[in-house]
């Protein structure tokens, strides 16, 4: 699937599910591997990123059986059972794999070499390596030890009190995983709450984790106990069909079993503020995570402002929110989102450039975007630039663009949403 062509769509109709949550899928493999005992995972996301996590832990001697693309059994080996990998740990395109795994490797008494693709080679690792070094980890890499490939010689960690300059679950989770292997207490504070899947899943695996206003702490020396995990649908993937249904006149769709963790539902708050007809019905809790169904109907949207504590709650959804904003009445302003520059691509620049190719009136600012809505989109050729979320955002834009759109390098979509094109086609055929 090198190229994906999207045509102006019929009304979207039907009830669907989206693939499992990427953040929770990664953690299920990592925590299952370092736990004592067996972990069975249902609803696992079989995207390229999470497959990279599986491969890394297999390289460290963990037996992981994939019964079907979405169902796994992990025979946890405990902290002490992880083995020095004989080959390079290849994280592919996955920032979550490398940053969380570094927290695990930093405490293991062996050598490991870690690298990924060319996007990973450009992404800053000092945000996790600085606190890990403060804890006593020995890590080297390119450009003064800041970029992949990295070499880690782990062990001998001591707990720290870390004030993170950014709200990032990858930073927080990395330090907590190192902290579990350190002496004493580890405390991480962050400017706003980032997604708390690590805290929730660690608790489910029997670890004592203390969340307080502004941060989280835990004591080193705790063991994890294997636990079955049921992974909810990824709200970050649901965001694409949700926005498509809001924009294509006459649409009405329901997405079932979506994760509704409040640290992830910023997109729903924003869509409400834009005047979208969105109904959310919470149906239960899976492995400590709230889950429910989301129903949307095509709506007339208005522009909005997005900033501050909302940003970490919708950080991965900004490219698709930008697509919605191009069709809303009035201006949408996104601020405080400089973190987008260090995602799989510089998502501020790339969202603006790629949507402009379809006629969107969108301007890049140092920490966000300004989108002048109500602009009809026209046909064009966009490029995912190897970024799954840019690929899907431009594909959805193509569904409302006069004449449709073609997305180059659309294979990247498989990183988080295998079956995306087929699912969108199925919705528009009903």
Residues contributing to the site for ligand S3P (CB under 6 A): 23, 96, 168-170, 173, 194-195, 315-316, 339
Judged by CB, which is closer to ligand S3P: 90, or 316?
Answer: 316
Question: Which tokens sit at 330?
Answer: 């009035």
Judged by CB, which is closer to ligand S3P: 168, or 256?
Answer: 168
409 neighbors 385 (Cβ within 8 angstroms): yes
Place of tokens 């963790």: 261
* 27 assigned ligand-binding residue: yes
Judged by CB, which is closer to ligand S3P: 12, or 178?
Answer: 178
159 neighbors 186 (Cβ within 8 angstroms): yes
Answer yes or no: 196 catalytic. no
Q: Which of 49, 234, 316, 383 is catalytic?
A: 316
HSE-up of residue 181 (Cα within 13 Å, Cβ side) = 28
* 347 assigned ligand-binding residue: yes
Q: Smallest distance from the beta carbon of 400 to ligand S3P, in angstroms?
A: 25
Q: Is the peptide bond before 149 cis (omega within 30 degrees of 0)?
A: yes
Q: Smallest distance from the beta carbon of 80 to ligand S3P, in angstroms?
A: 26
* 23 assigned ligand-binding residue: yes
273 neighbors 313 (Cβ within 8 angstroms): no
The residue among 19, 21, 35, 22 whose CA lies nearest residue 74 is 35
* 95 assigned ligand-binding residue: yes
Q: Smallest distance from the beta carbon of 173 to ligand S3P, in angstroms?
A: 6
Question: Which tokens sit at 300?
Answer: 């007339």
Question: Which tokens sit at 172?
Answer: 């927080």
Q: Smallest distance from the beta carbon of 297 to ligand S3P, in angstroms?
A: 28
Place of tokens 């900033």: 307
Question: Which tokens sit at 102?
Answer: 């570094």
Judged by CB, which is closer to ligand S3P: 186, or 251?
Answer: 186
The residue among 255, 258, 257, 231 whose CA lies nearest residue 243 is 255
Q: Smallest distance from the beta carbon of 106 to ligand S3P, in angstroms?
A: 17
Place of tokens 């049921």: 230
Report helix, strand or coil for 254: strand
15 neighbors 245 (Cβ within 8 angstroms): no
Rg (CA), the chain: 21
Judged by CB, which is closer to ligand S3P: 98, or 397?
Answer: 98
Report helix, strand or coil for 297: strand
Q: Smallest distance from the beta carbon of 420 to ligand S3P, in angstroms?
A: 16
Judged by CB, which is closer to ligand S3P: 54, or 377?
Answer: 54
Q: Smallest distance from the beta carbon of 168 to ligand S3P, in angstroms?
A: 3
94 neighbors 116 (Cβ within 8 angstroms): yes
* 133 assigned ligand-binding residue: no
267 neighbors 314 (Cβ within 8 angstroms): yes
* 223 assigned ligand-binding residue: no
Parallel, antiparallel, or unpaired for β 63-68 and 305-306? unpaired
* 343 assigned ligand-binding residue: yes
DSSP conformation letters of 329-378: BSEEEE-S-GGGGGSSS-HHHHHHHHHHTTT-EEEEETTEEEEE--PPPE
* 170 assigned ligand-binding residue: yes
Task: Tell me which residue has its CB nearest to ligand S3P.
Answer: 23
* 123 assigned ligand-binding residue: yes
Question: Which tokens sit at 39?
Answer: 């972990």
Judged by CB, which is closer to ligand S3P: 94, or 217?
Answer: 94
Detail the residues annotated as belonging to a binding site for phosphoenolpyruvate.
22, 95, 123, 170, 347, 389
Detail the residues annotated as belonging to a binding site for 3-phosphoshikimate.
22-23, 27, 168, 170, 316, 343
Detail the residues annotated as belonging to a binding site.
22-23, 27, 95, 123, 168, 170, 316, 343, 347, 389
Q: What is the set of active-site residues?
A: 316
């Amino acid at each position: 699937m090198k190229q994906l062509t999207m045509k102006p769509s019929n009304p979207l109709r039907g009830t669907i599910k989206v693939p499992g949550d990427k953040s929770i899928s990664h953690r299920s493999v990592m925590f299952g591997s370092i736990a004592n005992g067996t972990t069975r995972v249902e609803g696992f996301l079989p995207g390229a990123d999470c497959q990279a996590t599986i491969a890394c832990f297999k390289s460290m001697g963990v037996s992981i059986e994939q019964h079907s693309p979405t169902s796994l059994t992990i025979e946890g080996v405990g902290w002490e059972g992880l083995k020095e990998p004989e080959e390079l740990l290849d994280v592919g395109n996955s920032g979550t794999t490398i940053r969380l795994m570094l927290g695990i490797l930093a405490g293991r008494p062996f050598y490991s070499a870690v690298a990924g693709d060319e996007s990973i080679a450009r992404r800053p690792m000092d945000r996790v390596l600085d606190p890990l070094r403060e804890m006593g980890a020995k890590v080297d890499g390119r450009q003064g030890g800041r970029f992949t490939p990295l070499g880690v010689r782990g062990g001998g960690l001591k707990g720290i009190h870390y004030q993170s300059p950014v709200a990032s679950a990858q930073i927080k989770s990395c330090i907590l995983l190192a902290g579990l292997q350190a002496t004493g207490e580890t405390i991480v504070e962050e400017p706003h709450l980032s997604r708390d899947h690590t805290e929730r899943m660690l608790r489910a695996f029997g670890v004592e984790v203390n969340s307080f206003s502004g941060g989280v702490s835990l004591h080193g020396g705790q063991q994890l106990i294997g636990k079955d995990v049921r992974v909810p649908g990824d709200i970050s993937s649901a965001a694409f069909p949700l926005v498509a249904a809001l924009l294509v006149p006459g649409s009405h769709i329901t997405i079932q079993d979506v994760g509704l963790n409040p640290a992830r539902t910023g997109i729903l708050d924003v869509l409400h503020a834009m005047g979208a007809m969105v109904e959310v019905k919470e149906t239960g809790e899976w492995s400590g995570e709230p889950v429910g169904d989301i129903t949307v109907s095509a709506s007339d949207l208005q522009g909005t402002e997005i900033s501050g504590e909302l940003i970490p709650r919708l950080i991965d959804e900004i490219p698709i929110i930008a697509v919605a904003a191009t069709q809303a009445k009035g201006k949408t302003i996104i601020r405080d989102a400089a973190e987008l520059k260090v995602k799989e691509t510089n998502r501020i620049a790339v969202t603006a450039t790629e949507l402009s190719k379809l006629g969107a009136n969108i301007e890049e600012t140092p920490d966000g975007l300004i989108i002048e809505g109500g602009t009809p989109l026209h046909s064009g050729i966009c490029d995912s630039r190897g970024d799954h979320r840019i690929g899907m955002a431009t594909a959805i834009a193509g569904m409302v663009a006069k004449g449709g759109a073609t997305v180059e390098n659309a294979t990247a979509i498989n990183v988080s949403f295998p079956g995306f094109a087929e699912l969108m086609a199925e919705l528009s055929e009903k």
